[in-house]
Structure 1
Amino acid sequence: MKLSFQDYISIKIHKTDLLLTGFIKSRLEPYNLAPEQNLIMMLLWERDGLTQNQMVQMLNKDKTNIARMASNLEKKGFIKRSQSEEDKRVIQIFLTSEGKKLGDKIIPIAEQFNELVCKGLSEEELTELERLLSKMSSNIQSE
């Protein structure tokens, strides 16, 4: 039996992703922050001084993409990149004072967004959703 356009799970996930990204983009715009850039900032608000390579791993993005986003964030004055003292080949990323202050505004927005997205879902459902998404990712990575 042939699937219709609406039956593909990848289409449903894509539509949801577009909706989520559009929503958070509108909330971040007043702060001159794109959703992708916000991912880097969220990591740094949790643990300042990460290396670009650590971010590549954590965000599952390529080095060029991370370097470009970091460059844009540096131009905005939110972060500062510097060579590691131990290994000059390693680039560490640190929040500036402006970047730290931005967290006081953005983290509550991210928490409200997460609450909205998860509204009506039980802990069990969230755990199952994480398991299913992991399984789907694993299926693709094993190909």
Structure 2
Amino acid sequence: MKTRFNDYISIKIHQIDLTLTSYIKDKLAHLNIAPEQNLILMLLWEEDGLSQNEIARRLDKDKSNITRMLSSLEKKGFIKKSMNKEDSRSLNVYLTENGKNLSEHVYPITEEFHSIVTSGIAKEELRIVEDVLTKMRRNVEGNK
């Protein structure tokens, strides 16, 4: 018997991803940042001065995608890029004052979003979800 459309876990995950992304996109729109740009900013708020390659690695994105997002963030005045003193082929990314100050507006949105997403879900259930998603990712990566 064929698997029905709604029985594919991959489709459910995709639909959830679309819902989550749409929600956070709407919440961040007035700040002029896209959800994926926000991920870069969140990394830099934790550790300013990361290399472009390190940002790509941590977000599991290709370098050209990160380059495009960084250029947009730079045009908006949130970051600046600088040559790495040890490796002239590498760029480091630093927050501007505007980029640093933006965290005061984004963190409350991020905390509220996390609270909404995890509402009514026990810590143990979240750990299980994380473990299962990690296994699914490894399954797919192992079959490339």
Band of TM-score, shorter chain: over 0.9
TM-score calculated relative to the size of structure 2: 0.98
Matched residue, 2:31: 31
Matched residue, 1:84: 84
**Alpha-carbon separation, structure 1, partners of 2:41 and 2:96:** 11
**Alpha-carbon separation, structure 2, partners of 1:56 and 1:35:** 15
**Alpha-carbon separation, structure 1, partners of 2:124 and 2:88:** 46
Query: How many residues in Structure 1 have an aligned counterpart in Structure 2?
Result: 143
Q: Which runs of 5+ in 1 are unaligned?
A: none
Matched residue, 2:96: 96
Matched residue, 1:124: 124
Task: String of CA shifts for 1:1-51, please: whole Å, max 9, x gaps.
Answer: 211111110110011011000000000000000011111011001110000
RMSD: 0.6
Matched residue, 2:3: 3
Mapped pair 1:107 → 2:107: yes
**Alignment partner of 2:80: what SS?**
strand
Shift of 1:73: 0.2
Shift of 1:108: 1.3
**Alpha-carbon separation, structure 2, partners of 1:56 and 1:23:** 24
Matched residue, 1:20: 20
**Alpha-carbon separation, structure 1, partners of 2:111 and 2:53:** 26
Shift of 1:57: 0.8
**Alignment partner of 1:61: what SS?**
coil
Matched residue, 2:138: 138
Task: String of CA shifts for 1:33-72, please: whole Å, max 9, x gaps.
Answer: 0011111011001110000110111000000000000000
TM-score calculated relative to the size of structure 1: 0.98
Deviating 4+ runs (over 6 angstroms)? none
Task: String of CA shifts for 1:115-140, please: whole Å, max 9, x gaps.
Answer: 11000111100100000000000000
